[in-house]
Amino acid sequence: MTGRILLAGAGLFLLGFLVSPASFAPLFQPFTRNNAPAIYAQTSLLSLTLSHLAIVAVAVAASTVVGLALAILVTRRAGREFLPLARTVTAVGQTFPPVAVLALAVPVLGFGTGPTLVALFLYGLLPVFETALAGLTGQPPAIIDAARGMGLTPGQRLWQIDLPLALPLLLAGMRLTAVISLGTATIGSTVAARTLGEVIIAGLLSSNTAFVLQGGLVVGILAVLIHHGFQGLENGVRRRMGLE
């Protein structure tokens, strides 16, 4: 109960701050110096937050579609030989620094949202792929035998049994990808993407700690809310399936 109250309080604080940031100026004023502004006002914090969330949502959706498709492919009889290749490709996306991806993508895609989406997409593939793979290959033997006894085709088994049972783990992978992408997306502002990194970078360039705190605080609260949102969804799916 205490956790839910704190979560609701954090959500209300974030909403109030984004709607009326000037009202919170006294809170951030101690972190400024030389009469610098306490609240970032060059761009609307609400619009930056919505843009940040939109970029993350698109990247997570793309990572989920591709990661799940790869997991389905390598768990089918015809695609099992591609498992090592799929693991290598998704692992490279996780180990290759996002900053390096941005540097390579800018000459091709130009400045803006495009390079950031590519970096987040590659960075988010591994968690989705591995959790989907675990969900699709970790079915109880009794369920597999029952599916065979019912005469289900491979396609019917995939849609009626495998994917529903793998959904909680898939959601866990999406949760991890979303939280990672939320923080990583801030670097997109270095290539002119409209993210909350703009506030943090402005604070660093002007030595205004208040701006850095504002950008970090919004991203941090969003990460906590998204984490608990996905977790609640996972628990709901598990309860509906009788897994809890």
17 located within any domain: no
The whole-angstrom separation of Cα 38 and Cα 13 is 17
59-87: pLDDT as tens digits: 999 999 999 999 999 988 878 888 888 88
Average pLDDT, the chain: 88
| CATH number of the domain enclosing 210 | 1.10.3720.10
The domain tally of the chain equals 1
152 located within any domain: yes
147 located within any domain: yes
144 located within any domain: yes
159-173: pLDDT as tens digits: 888 888 889 999 999
35 located within any domain: no
29 located within any domain: no
Domain span at residue 84 reads 40-240
35-65: pLDDT as tens digits: 889 999 898 999 999 999 999 999 999 999 9
4 located within any domain: no
9 located within any domain: no
User: Which bin fits 192, alpha (ψ -120 to 50), beta or left (φ > 0)?
Assistant: left
Closest CA to 212 of 225, 226, 196: 196
Q: How confident is the model at residue 7 (pLDDT cuts 50, 70, 90)?
A: confident
